[in-house]
Amino acid sequence: MRSPRDESRDHHCRWSMAAVSGFPVASMSFRLDACQPGRTSVTLQTSNRDDVASDAVRTPSCSRAAHTLPVTGLTAPNLHVRIHPKYAVGARDVPVRHALIGAANAPVIIVQGGISADCCVASGESDAKGGWWAMQIGAGRAIDLTRWRVLSINWLTGAEIGAPAVSSEDQCDALAAVLDILRIERVHAFVGASYGAMVGLAFAGRHAERLGRLVAISGTHRPHPLATAQRAIQRGILRLGIDTGSEHAALSLARQLGMTTYRGSAEFAHRFNGDVEFRDGRFRAPVEDWLEHAGGRFAERFNARRYLSLSESIDLHRINPGEVRVPTTLIGCSSDRLVPLADLFELQSSLGAAAQLEVIESDKGHDAFLTEHAKLTPLLRSALDAPVAGARR
């Protein structure tokens, strides 16, 4: 039987790192076994510059062979930064894995995704689906690597920062510290989707002087209580699995529950409105194969404790919209059940700077930023070309 296609946020990051989406610049060759903390093998062949490498704990797995990646800027396997975690006393020195790609000396755009995304955002021509946002980042795409450099980091967890929990403020402070190390005074824009939008809002509130424009996609100043309830059930499943030695099964089941929230009701009705069938000793609904396939794939590449920490971080997120004083573009989806449009309207009216709200009409729900490329591309281009705070690059 043919495996059902998983169109979720289950991203295996396989960069074929050769001229990112055809990006023509001098480059360096290196071997990267992962964009995840945990397994790293780096072999550098320099071309008179310092470039991206990798770090160590298990996060989203990235299978790669040795390829050429056009990367500019100061990079390292781990950048060690100092932050003051919100839920701990005192400073912590923590390793942060990052990637910096794009045109040499071009303005920088920070790009961050959901909790299952990593710093591998783009891909090469021979592996167009490798980066989790490869359809939006590359030469000639919405975030054009002939015009911009793109910086991204792997999310930190509570365990990695020596705290009982990690906050969106901790993540944005880590990003600011990475900018310090890379000697990037200011970024043109922060483009964040889902959890990345939450961190982007925190960054705009805490580090406004370093930011020209915020683009927040499917994320707001606080989580919706119904979404929190759903994630709380997921975390309960994960804790039960950890306590009973069934971590893999629990992670798969938690992800399956999450899949039911990422897409709109209309898409489920369209794709899975078939008859049940008797198979393997029981009746099975059409949607079950898709859910089990997606959950199994996710459990193979992710870590239950990491999922727990980052899921909790979403529900700890609270920012004061009035403290966000940089021009902002909000983008939402009409069928998003995790981030309802009403919450985006509330955020838009409360921000401390000019803000516009763009709505994508789609049945793809929260995952629209990963699937509705044709609708999202012009919105991103328009936002990135709009006036920025301070009008300085």
Q: Are 178 and 286 within one domain?
A: no
% of the chain beyond a pLDDT of 70: 78
- When pLDDT is averaged across residues 376-383 and rounded to a whole number, the result is 98
CA 207 to CA 323: how far, in whole Å? Answer: 10
Task: Tell me if 387 sits within 8 A of 353, measured CB to CB.
Answer: no
Residue 127: count other Cβ atoms within 10 Å of its Cβ: 18
CATH number at residue 349: 3.40.50.1820
Q: Are 268 and 345 within one domain?
A: no
In a domain, 2, yes or no: no
pLDDT at 260: 95
Cα dihedral 228/233/234/237 (nearest 10): 160
Q: Are 201 and 339 within one domain?
A: yes
Q: Are 126 and 89 within one domain?
A: yes
Decide if 366 is catalytic.
yes
pLDDT at 77: 61
Total structural domains within the chain: 2
Q: Are 216 and 256 within one domain?
A: no
Q: Poorest-confidence range of 28-37, 164-173, 183-192, 331-340?
A: 28-37
Tokens standing for residue 51: 């470039």
- When pLDDT is averaged across residues 296-308 and rounded to a whole number, the result is 97
CATH number at residue 250: 1.10.1740.110
Catalytic residue among 21, 61, 167, 194: 194
Helix (H, G, I), strand (E, B) or coil at 254: helix
Decide if 336 is catalytic.
yes
Span 273-293, pLDDT tens digits: 999 999 999 999 999 999 999
Decide if 173 is catalytic.
no
- Strand 328-333 and strand 355-360: pairing? parallel
pLDDT at 389: 79
360 bridge partner residues: 333
pLDDT over threshold 80, residue 294 = yes
Largest alpha-carbon pair distance within the chain?
66
The domain in which residue 39 lies consists of 28-221+316-391
CA 390 to CA 209: how far, in whole Å? Answer: 9
% of the chain beyond a pLDDT of 90: 75
End residue of a domain, out of 245, 276, 305: 305
Average pLDDT, the chain: 83
End residue of a domain, out of 251, 273, 305: 305
Q: Where are the beta strands (DSSP E) in 42-186?
A: 43-45, 67-69, 79-83, 92-96, 98-102, 108-112, 149-153
In a domain, 3, yes or no: no
Span 4-34, pLDDT tens digits: 444 444 433 333 333 333 333 333 322 333 3
Catalytic residue among 51, 55, 170, 336: 336
Span 38-68, pLDDT tens digits: 332 222 222 233 332 222 233 333 333 223 3
Span 168-183, pLDDT tens digits: 999 999 999 999 999 9
Confidence of residue 78 (pLDDT cuts 50, 70, 90): confident
Q: Are 82 and 214 within one domain?
A: yes
Tokens standing for residue 141: 């795409």
CA 84 to CA 170: how far, in whole Å? Answer: 7
Tokens standing for residue 9: 């946020």
Confidence of residue 208 (pLDDT cuts 50, 70, 90): very high
CA 329 to CA 219: how far, in whole Å? Answer: 11
Q: Poorest-confidence range of 54-58, 98-102, 140-144, 376-380?
A: 54-58
End residue of a domain, out of 274, 305, 336: 305
Catalytic residue among 207, 252, 366, 367: 366
| Closest to 366 measured CA to CA, from 322, 329, 326, 333 | 333
CA 252 to CA 291: how far, in whole Å? Answer: 9
Residue 124 gets which letter from DSSP?
B
